[in-house]
Amino acid sequence: MRYSQPARAARNHYIAEREDANSAARLYMRFEEVTTLVGRFPYLGREGRLRGTRELMVSGTPYVFIYRVERSVVTILDIQHSGRR
């Protein structure tokens, strides 16, 4: 499991824009849960809009993980706000 630079930047941005530390911590934990889930079950997400990608909504949030599975490596390519797609 690895994060691309754009995915890492998006994750950090979405967490940093939270108004309070508790909200930021909850979002961080939610992102970590999804990262673990995708690592264990890489084909859980639906086929992505871009060929060769997959997408998984982060339940309870407006965020979508966009990732690629290549052999046994999952790369998180981006995290997008569903309202800004």
CATH code at position 19: 3.30.2310.20
What is residue 85's predicted lDDT score, i.e. its pLDDT? Answer: 63
Give the number of other Cβ atoms within 10 Å of residue 62's Cβ.
13
Q: How far apart are the first and last CA of the chain?
A: 24
Whole domain around residue 45: which residue ranges?
A: 2-84
Q: Please give the structure tokens belonging to residue 35.
A: 């990262």
Write out pLDDT tens, residues 29-77: 999 999 999 999 999 999 999 999 999 999 999 999 999 999 889 999 9
| Average pLDDT for 9-13 | 97
In angstroms, the Cα distances linking 61 to 27, 40, 72, 82 are 8, 21, 28, 9
Beta carbons of 51 and 81 less than 8 angstroms apart:
no
What is residue 50's predicted lDDT score, i.e. its pLDDT? Answer: 94
- The pLDDT confidence band at residue 83, using thresholds 50, 70 and 90, is confident
What is residue 44's predicted lDDT score, i.e. its pLDDT? Answer: 96
